[in-house]
Amino acid sequence: MSFDLQKILESKRALRRNLAARSVAEKLRMLDALRERALAIGIHARSTTANAMHEKSSDYRTQPSGKREK
């Protein structure tokens, strides 16, 4: 496997152009397919790692919602 940064960057640009050119309906179908895959992976991961520890996500709010700086 070669590491050609210019080739990688051009490939990423081409993929982005390709995705941007697709219709909204096609993008939504792709999103549904990705969601189905994520659910399938999540179900499989939970069944194989039943004893894994899961952390609760942090609340990144630094100030109470009513007391924001101006």
Sorted by where each begins, the domain ranges of the chain are 5-48
Return the number of other C-beta atoms located less than 10 Å from residue 61's C-beta. Answer: 7
| pLDDT value, residue 50 | 54
| Dihedral Cα 38, 33, 12, 1, nearest 10 deg | 60
What's the rounded Cα separation, in Å, for the pair 8 and 2? 10
* pLDDT (mean) for 57-66: 66
What's the rounded Cα separation, in Å, for the pair 31 and 24? 10
| pLDDT value, residue 45 | 65
The predicted-structure confidence for 6-55, as pLDDT tens digits, reads as follows 999 999 999 999 999 999 999 999 999 999 999 998 876 666 555 556 66
First to last CA, the chain: 53
Q: Is the pLDDT of residue 65 over 70?
A: no
Cβ partners under 8 Å of residue 30, min gap 6? 22
